Amino acid sequence: MTLARWFFPLLAGTAWAVLPLSLSAQISETQAPPSVVSLHVDAAKAAGYRIPRTIFGSFLEPIGNSTYNGLWAQVLENPSLEENLWDTNHIAEMLREQPELSEASRLGLPLPWRPLDVRQGNRYEPHWGDAANSWRSLEVLGVPGEATGIVQRVYLPVQRELSYQGSLWAKHLLGPATLTMQIRRHHSLEVIASTTVTATDTNWTKYLFTLQIPQGKLQRLEPADFVVLVDGEERVDLDNIDLFPADALENGLGGLDPDEVKMAREMHTPLVRFGGNFTSGYHWKDGIGPEDKRVSMLNIAWGIPEYNTFGTDEFLRFCKLIGAEPQVAVNLGSGTPEEAAAWVKYVDNRFNSDAGGLHWELGNELWGSWNLGWPTLQQLPARTKEMSEAIRAVDPRAKLIATGQDPDHFQQWNAAQLTNPAGTFDYLSTHFVVTTDATVKPSPNADFLAQATFALPVQLGRQLREMQQQMDGTPAFAHKTHIAFTEWLFVGHRPDTPRFTNMGGAIAAAAFFNMLMQNADVVPVSDMTGIMEFAGIWKKRGQVYAAPAYYVFQMYAGADATTPVAITGSTGSYAVKDGITRLPNIADVPYLDTVAAKNDAGDTLTLFVVNRHLTRDLTTDIDVQGFAAAATAQVKTLDAPSLYNENTDDNPQSVIPKESAVAVKGGKLRCVFPHESVTVITLKKS
Quick one: pLDDT at residue 499? 98
**Tell me, what amino acid is at 410?**
F
Q: Apex CA 58: angle with CA 563 and CA 275, to 5°?
A: 135
Closest CA to 387 of 409, 414, 360: 360
Listed in order, strand segments (DSSP E) in 142-204 are: 148-155, 163-174, 178-185, 191-198
Q: Report the first-to-last Cα separation within the chain, whole angstroms.
A: 35
| Alpha-carbon torsion, ordered 525, 528, 529, 530, to 10 deg | -110
Euclidean distance between CA atoms 485 and 464, whole angstroms: 10
Query: Taking a C-beta distance cutoff of 8 angstroms, is the pair 59, 275 a contact?
Result: yes
Which DSSP symbol is given to 327? E
Does residue 146 come out as left (phi exceeding 0), alpha (psi in the -120 to 50 range) or beta? beta
598 CA to centre of own chain: 28
CA distances from 387 to 330, 362, 393, 483, 591 (A): 9, 7, 10, 19, 45
Query: Taking a C-beta distance cutoff of 8 angstroms, is the pair 115, 109 a contact?
Result: yes
Query: Taking a C-beta distance cutoff of 8 angstroms, is the pair 528, 510 a contact?
Result: no
Quick one: pLDDT at residue 24? 41
Tell me the DSSP string of 399-421. Answer: EEEE----TTS-HHHHHHHTTSP
Quick one: pLDDT at residue 250? 76
**Tell me, what amino acid is at 269?**
T
What domains can be seen in the chain, in order of their start residue?
3-49+565-684 (2.60.40.1180), 88-245 (2.60.120.260)
CA distances from 618 to 358, 511, 572, 673 (A): 43, 17, 11, 5
Euclidean distance between CA atoms 522 and 284, whole angstroms: 32
Q: What percent of the residues of the chain are helix, what percent strand, and what percent coil, each to the nearest 5?
A: 20, 35, 45
For residue 141, the tally of other CB atoms under 10 A from its CB is: 18
CA distances from 653 to 219, 516, 536, 675 (A): 19, 27, 14, 20
Which DSSP symbol is given to 257? -
Query: Global pTM?
Result: 0.95
Euclidean distance between CA atoms 547 and 389, whole angstroms: 40
What would the 3-class secondary structure string for 267-321 be? CCCCEEEECCHHHHHCCHHHHCCCHHHCCCEEECCCCEEECCCCCHHHHHHHHHH
Mean pLDDT per 10-residue section of the chain, whose length is 686 residues: 32 30 66 96 97 98 97 98 97 97 95 97 96 97 96 98 97 97 97 98 98 98 98 97 93 82 98 97 97 96 97 96 98 98 98 95 97 96 98 98 97 98 98 98 97 98 98 97 98 96 98 98 98 98 98 98 97 97 98 98 98 98 98 98 98 98 98 98 97
Euclidean distance between CA atoms 168 and 236, whole angstroms: 12
